[in-house]
Structure 1
């Protein structure tokens, strides 16, 4: 199996995103857009596995430049943008991925409606986003955010956190159907290192146990939906 390549400074669990994406049986000929691609490690891993028509959007222009230097085959395939105006015509893609992105978008309903328009009929949105009920307490503890200023910072960064129910309703309101929201393993090496640094061994025990939490308390929601 091809190794997973991840550029230093990449955000998110690239290996888990790749594993989840591959589990969906998406045609390698699909035209794919990764929203919030940062340096493009996820796209590069797809490319190395035979997905030839991959593209990315990212709000950090410097991250795109660094990614193009590290992954020359992606040069011209990633674009920096303002986070709102989607620079593609309608029906441009078969699949749009967004991992750890939904929670950062202030006008999330309008944004998702815009992404739906970019998908071709029968196209698929593939996503991962943290659970409001778990993510907010985690960052409060991890950042020792026990005052108003720190709390405001957390919710300014994660301004559109969802619960299981609100995420399902959001996707339906924005025109998606066949919505599937499911779990993926929580105790990956990426997550264990993150929790080890922030909460120590008590956090690791909770992380392990979270694999057995009910769906409404799953730390992260993974899923897909069609247009």
Structure 2
């Protein structure tokens, strides 16, 4: 078969990401009143052609789903909550994959910031880090595609296991002489935004003046 010419948007390896809705049946009631099984996890995973599995934490993501969707992966990206926490029920699955020599990298879902996980603040999911999961400091969910490409390229160069974990950790870590940012929830001088101010998904703050008569 002849090769197809990639479009102008296809300048990086395909992530093969699909949502949980593609994998699980949605809950609905049929005409007889019986309900089908519902999977509410908001997760993304790679297909069998990719070396890197990507999963997004959510209250509905289970240990069995994690293990199923990372089966055969050479590396795993977990998008955790904004503070770097994740459900404790996922810890055994992450520990298992790390014990198998598969590095697990963690991105924070804090798109309004310009950094990643600079300090583990809370206990939820801490067992994953104790087991060797790698919190990435300089990047977060905004750079998810970049991190995917970096891991894929490192795998293609022959890195794997702990060598891969160390290489990616070092690439996205703050080094001596660099200023590590302080997370807003860890900054004693932090002043919360006005209640009428909302955080946008793409980052930054969008304020609304109290006298603004535009629709809210």
Q: Taking structure 1 as the reference length, what is the TM-score of the superposition?
A: 0.31
Structure number having the greater helix percentage: 1
- Which one has the largest radius of gyration? 2
Q: Which has the higher contact order (CA 8 A, sep 6+)?
A: 1
More strand by share: 1
- Tell me the TM-score normalized by structure 2: 0.32
